Amino acid sequence: MKITILSLFPDSFSGFLSGSMIGRAQKKGLAQIENVNLRDFATDSYGSIDDKPYGGGAGMVLRVDILVAALKKYQTPVSKTILLTPQGHPLTQAKVRELAQSEHLVLIAGHYEGFDERIRDYVDLEISIGDYVLTGGELPAAVVTDAVVRLLPGVLGNDDSPIYESFSDGLLEHPHYTRPAEFEGKKVPEILISGNHAEIAKWRTEQSKLRTASRRPDLIK
Ligand code: ADE
C-alpha cells in the first residue's frame, strides 16, 4: 500500500516515519509512504500557500488552487483522498479496516484556521480523530497512517494478532499478564497459569465483555 501525506510540515513526520513499526513496514516493502510539502506548490517566490479569508475574520485559509495542484500530481486512478478535519467522519477501527483495503491513500493535513471550502469537492472522504481541535492535521494524518499500516499483512509480528485486539470484535480486549507471577501482593489470575486453553479462552471472552460493559457501555448494542 502507498500513503501520500500532503502537509505544510513534512519534517514533523520524520521520526514517526522512520520509527519502529512504520519504518519496518517500509523497509519490508509492505508500505510506501510519500511525505510531500505543500509549499512546493506555491506559485510565488514567498512560498505562500494561504491567504486572508473573504468576508474578513482572524487567521489564514489554505488556498484551494495550491491543494488541487498537489492532488493533481499525487492522486492516482486507485487512490482514495482523505481530508483530516474535526468535521469529518469519526475514525473507528471499522473505518481503519476499510481504509487498509485501499491500494493508495492521499491524506491532506491542513493547518491554521482551515482550508478553502471548495477543497471538499476534490476529496473522497473526511476524517476526524476525535471531538477536539488540534493545530493541524499532521497528528491526525500520522494517526491514520499508523492505524492503517499496522493492519497490513506482515506488518505485525504475528499475522493474526489484530483479530484478537480491542474493537476487532466490537469489544475491548481482555487483560494481559506476564512474569512475575506475583508482584507487590498482586497475583496473576490462576486460570492463566492452569494450562487449560479452553478455560483460558472462556475467561478472556468473559473479561472482554465485563470490561466493555464497565468502560464502554456505548459499544454494547
Ligand atoms: N485537525 C484539527 N483537529 C482535528 C481532528 N480532531 N481530527 C482531524 N483533523 C483535525
Ligand 1 pocket, residues with Cβ under 6 angstroms: 84-86, 128-130, 132-134, 137, 140
| Cα–Cα distance for residue pair 158/110, rounded to 1 Å | 35
Least confident of 18-22, 25-29, 157-161: 157-161
Report the nearest-CA residue for atom 5 of ligand 1.
Answer: 86
Predicted confidence (pLDDT) per residue in 134-147, tens digit: 999 999 999 999 99
Quote the cell numbers at residue 171: 469489544
pLDDT of residue 155: 94
The pLDDT-based confidence of 160 (bands split at 50, 70, 90) is low
Predicted confidence (pLDDT) per residue in 112-138, tens digit: 668 999 999 999 999 999 999 999 999
Mean pLDDT on 91-114:
94
| Residue 114 CA, ligand 1 centroid: distance in Å | 10
| pLDDT surpassing 80 at residue 37 | yes
Exposed, middle or buried: residue 13 (CB in 10 Å: 0-12, 13-18, 19+)?
buried
Residue 84 Cα: closest atom of ligand 1? 9
Exposed, middle or buried: residue 145 (CB in 10 Å: 0-12, 13-18, 19+)?
buried
| Cα–Cα distance for residue pair 176/61, rounded to 1 Å | 47
| pLDDT surpassing 80 at residue 163 | no
* For the chain, percent of residues with pLDDT exceeding 70: 97
136 DSSP assignment:
B
Mean pLDDT on 7-18:
92
What is the dihedral angle through the alpha carbons of 158, 22, 136, 38, rounded to the nearest 10 degrees?
A: -140
Do residues 136 and 113 lie in contact, with contact meaning Cβ atoms separated by under 8 Å? no
Mean pLDDT on 176-197:
97
- φ, ψ for residue 187 (rounded to 5)? -100, 150
Residue 137 Cα: closest atom of ligand 1? 1
Give the chain's mean pLDDT.
Answer: 94
Best of 128, 131, 135, 145 for a ligand 1 pocket test (most atoms within 8 Å of beta carbon): 128
Q: Where are the beta strands (DSSP E) in 65-220?
A: 79-90, 104-109, 114-115, 125-128, 182-183, 186-187
- φ, ψ for residue 65 (rounded to 5)? -65, -35
What is the dihedral angle through the alpha carbons of 87, 146, 80, 86, rounded to the nearest 10 degrees?
A: 10
pLDDT of residue 90: 97
List the one residue out of 147, 148, 124, 129 whose CA is nearest residue 139.
129
Report the nearest-CA residue for atom 6 of ligand 1.
Answer: 86
Report the nearest-CA residue for atom 10 of ligand 1.
Answer: 85
pLDDT of residue 112: 65
pLDDT of residue 113: 67
Report the nearest-CA residue for atom 2 of ligand 1.
Answer: 134
Do residues 150 and 156 lie in contact, with contact meaning Cβ atoms separated by under 8 Å? yes
The position carrying cell 474493537 is 167
| pLDDT surpassing 60 at residue 52 | yes
Sequence letter at residue 2: K
| pLDDT surpassing 70 at residue 159 | no
Best of 133, 138, 143, 144 for a ligand 1 pocket test (most atoms within 8 Å of beta carbon): 133
| Residue 89 CA, ligand 1 centroid: distance in Å | 11
